[in-house]
Amino acid sequence: MTAPLKASEPIVVPVALGARAYNIVIGRGQLATLGARIKALRASAKCAIVTDANVARQHLTACQMALKAAGIESTAIVVAPGEGSKSYATFETVCEAIIAARIERGDLVVALGGGVIGDLAGYASASVRRGLDFVQVPTTLLAQVDSSVGGKTGINSRQGKNLIGAFHQPVLVIADTALLDTLPARDFRAGYAEMAKYGLLGDAAFFSWLEANWRDVFAGGAGREQAIAVCCRGKAGIVARDERETAERALLNLGHTFGHAFEAGCGFSDRLLHGEAVALGIALAFEFSARRGLISAADAARACAHLAAVGLPTQIKQVPGGVPGLDALMDWIAQDKKVKRGKLTFILVRGIGQAFVENDVDAAEVRAFLADKLSNPSA
């Protein structure tokens, strides 16, 4: 992650949502264009920049300078880093700070950070004055390939992840890939889980490309922008067809039902990052699919092997500090957002790149599968 800091011609990926359509701008050095792009969207807007303390140290000044160069007044709202900020308390703090900054309906909120900040700032934007427009400036790989696109915003409940929130689309996404150069290796690796997810759920050729080129993605070569763009195009297409997750969009949750349960079991802490939980969840989803006879053991092993090759967890024993008991895991799974009338819904696979939504999964079957995994965590 030591590629030179230089601007590149951006890749622009449109998200086709009619009157609410917006662009994802991908490329090195694109943060410097933020002010000009906002000026083109909202000529007289002020901005509230929501970020966390870690990102503020690295990128807040550059963000403010980009806005100032375009004559845009801004106020910074800095919260604590980490999943713990997706809480009622921090949500209240951000909302009150936006109001105190006199951000009006014609103004904008800028989410400068990773998935936590995007979810938090987006939900505050959806709520303050009954709806403010906002811009996503994702600073992590996970946010650039996934969470900054599509309008899912929210905070966590004590009973599960992302259970309080709203669909609220941004008006612009600026994915400056140079910002990833300062990302800790663990965080970059965690974000890669969401990148691999796109190949595993619906693009077998992209997954094969990742198997051959993941080192270039990690090193910051030309493959990084290419891979991010592939993921964004994939998600943009799904969101345009199913914005509110009534059908196809649920596929983007591959690995998340298992993964969110393990995240909750770790107290939404740095013990297990979201992307690490997703990687473990994907491995379990493939293994559960193999157990059901949907895919071959070889396909399941191939998916797990790639995740393991980049350093992501694929076995329960790899969760630091251990995991909660079976009853607790099943309780969290039962609170998953995809549950319908108490029936479990899982994203399963019929092969690499062939995910599908399986409704009405028997909880007893899931319980038996997890019981086997907990009793033999290396299996």
Q: Which of 6, 9, 130, 341 is catalytic?
A: 130
162 in catalytic set: no
Of these residues, 168, 256, 337, 373, which one is catalytic?
256
To the query of whether residue 130 is one of the catalytic residues in this protein, the response is yes
Q: State yes or no: is 96 an active-site residue.
A: no
What is the rounded CA–CA span in Å between residue 135 and residue 153?
Answer: 13
Question: Is 59 tagged catalytic?
Answer: no
Task: Indicate if 73 belongs to the active site.
Answer: no
> Catalytic pick from 28, 253, 276, 373?
253
Asked if 227 contacts 211 with a C-beta cutoff of 8 angstroms, the reply is: no
Residues 28, 59, 86, 152: which is the catalytic one?
152
Whose structure tokens read 């990052």?
Answer: 273
- Given the residues 161, 260, 306, 373, the one annotated as active site: 260
Q: Is 213 among the residues known to form the active site?
A: no
Residue among 54, 59, 189, 245 flagged as catalytic: 245
The answer to whether the CB of 285 falls within 8 A of the CB of 299 is no
| Known catalytic residue at 358 | no
- According to DSSP, the β-strands at 47-52 and 74-79 are parallel
Q: What angle do CA 105, 52, 159 make, to 5 degrees?
A: 85
Catalytic status, residue 260: yes
Choose, from 86, 161, 224, 249, the residue flagged as catalytic: 249
Tokens 């309080």 found at: 164
Catalytic (active site) residue 340: no
User: What's the burial of 243, exposed, middle or buried (CB within 10 Å: 0-12/13-18/19+)?
Assistant: middle
Determine how many CB atoms are found less than 10 A away from the CB of residue 362: 10
Out of 224, 235, 306, 337, the active site residue is: 235
Q: Is 249 a catalytic residue?
A: yes
3-state helix, strand, coil in the chain (%, to 5): 55, 20, 30
172-176 and 152-157: which strand pairing?
Answer: unpaired
Catalytic, out of 28, 189, 274, 306: 274
Distance CA 93, CA 80 (A): 11
Q: Catalytic residue among 194, 263, 276, 287, which?
A: 194
Catalytic residues: 130, 152, 194, 235, 245, 249, 253, 256, 260, 274
